[in-house]
Structure 1
Amino acid sequence: MNLFKYEIFNKVAEIGSFTKAGEMLGLTQSAVSHAISSLEKEFGFELIHRSKQGLKLTPDGQIMLSAIRRALQAQELIKQEAANINGITKGIVRIGTLSSISAKWLPTIIRKMEVQFPGVQIQLREGDYYEIEQMLMDGVIDCGFLNRSYSNLFPFTPLLRDELLCIVSTKSSLFKQDKVDIKDVELEPFILSSYNGTNDIKSILDLYNVKTNIRFELYDESSIVTMIEHGLGISILPELVLRKLPSNVRAIPLKQDCYRTIGIATKLTLSPATEKFIELLTSWLSKENKKNKLQQLL
Structure 2
Amino acid sequence: MSLLKYEIFNKVAEIGSFTRAGEILGLTQSAVSHAVSSLEKELGFPLIHRSKSGLKLTNDGQTILNAMRQVLQAEELLKQEAANINGVTSGTVKIGTFSSISSKWMPILIKKMEQNYPGIRIELREGDYYEIEQMLIDGEIDCGFLNGTYSNQFHFKPLFRDRLLCIVSSSSPLYLKESIDIEEVELEPFILTSYSGMNDVMTILELNNVKPTIRFELYDETGIVSMVEHGLGISILPELVLKTLPPKVRAIPLKQNCYRTIGLATKQKLSPATKIFIEVLMKWLSSNEKTSQIEYTKEI
Unaligned runs of 5+ residues in structure 1 are 294-298
Matched, 1:67 2:74: no
Note if 1:3 corresponds to 2:6.
no
8 Å CA contact 1:18–1:29 kept in 2: the answer is yes
Residue in structure 2 matched with residue 166 of structure 1 by the alignment: 166
Q: Is the 8 A contact 2:170 2:249 kept in 1?
A: yes
Gaps of 5+ in 2: 294-300
User: Could you tell me which amino acid in structure 1 is paired with residue 57 of structure 2?
Assistant: L
1:249 to 2:249 alignment: yes
The 3 A distance-change label for structure 1 pair 182 and 240 is same
Counterpart residue type for residue 278 of structure 1:
I
Q: Who is 1:204 aligned against?
A: 204
1:75 deviates by: 0.5
Shift, 1:35, TM fit: 1.7
Cα distance in 2, alignment partners of residues 170 and 125 from structure 1:
37
1:14-33 alignment, distance < 5 Å: 14-33=14-33
User: 2-side partners of 1:101 and 1:42: how far apart?
Assistant: 42
Matched ranges for 1:91-102 at <5 A: 91-102=91-102
Which residue in 1 is equivalent to 2:224?
Answer: 224
* Aligned position for 2:79: 79
Contact 1:166–1:253 (Cα < 8 Å) also in 2: yes
TM-score by length of structure 2 reads 0.93
2:146 maps to 146
Residues 99, 126 of structure 2: 8 Å contact kept: yes
TM-fit CA distance, 1:291:
7.2
- Using the alignment, how far apart are the partners of 2:19 and 2:194 within structure 1? 35
Q: Distance in 1 between matches of 2:244 and 2:291?
A: 20
2:157 counterpart letter in structure 1: T
Task: Give me the identity figure in percent.
Answer: 71
Partner of 1:180: 180
CA contact (8 A) 1:129 1:150 kept: no
Q: Which residue identity is paired with 2:107?
A: P
C-alpha deviation, 1:180, in angstroms: 0.8
Give yes or no for contact 2:153–2:267 (8 Å, CA) kept in 1.
no
**Deviation, structure 1 residue 20:** 2.7
- TM-score (normalised: structure 1): 0.94
Please say if residues 133 and 150 of structure 1, whose CA atoms lie closer than 8 Å, have aligned partners that are also in contact.
no
- Structure 2 residue aligned with 1:53: 53
Task: Find the aligned partners of 2:207 and 2:153 in 1 and give their Cα distance.
Answer: 24
Deviation at 1:290, TM superposition (A): 9.0
Query: How many matched pairs?
Result: 294
Change (3 A) 1:158 1:291: closer
